Amino acid sequence: MTGEDYLIPPKQGTNIHDRLDGMLIVDYSKFHKKEKSFIKRLIKYRDSIHTFLAYDFVPPHNNGSELAIRNVKVKTKVSGQFLNAKGKGAGLYAKIRSVVDTSIKNGQGVYTALLILAKC
């Protein structure tokens, strides 16, 4: 897609946004508390909900984010904690893991990225 293509929303995407707007025009005063919160969030983030319809590189799911935090959760479960002499093990692990995951995602060499990080 070219830059001009992003200025003209696709017809299908526009129809979906219109349908969403139609569903959000509802009197939710008598709904359950959690339903009210959900509808308010949908209204607040309406413009961001269907970003993947306009941009090909945006996935319609958050699997990448889920995979990114999986390593941290596994490490926490296995070792039980992130401790080092200064008590900042979790922060250091998160920074290094972030560099590793980002370099993999961008198709760059992990070793090279870690060397650059070590020189900073």
Structural domain ending residue among the three candidates 35, 54, 73:
54
pLDDT at 4 over 80: no
pLDDT at 87: 62
pLDDT at 24 over 60: yes
- Residue 75: count of CB within 10 angstroms of its CB: 16
pLDDT at 32: 92
Judge whether 53 and 16 are in contact, CB under 8 Å.
yes
Residue 74 in domain: yes
Mean per-residue pLDDT for 39-53?
83
- Report the number of distinct structural domains present in the chain: 2
For residues 82 and 110, membership in a common domain is answered with yes
pTM beyond 0.75, yes or no: no
User: Which position has the token pair 């926490």?
Assistant: 76
The three-state secondary structure class of 2 is: coil
pLDDT at 23: 85
Residue 24 in domain: yes
For residues 77 and 99, membership in a common domain is answered with yes
- Residue 41: count of CB within 10 angstroms of its CB: 11
pLDDT at 74 over 90: no
Domain range for 96: 64-119
For residues 68 and 111, membership in a common domain is answered with yes
The token pair at 55 is 């941009």
3-state helix, strand, coil in the chain (%, to 5): 70, 0, 30
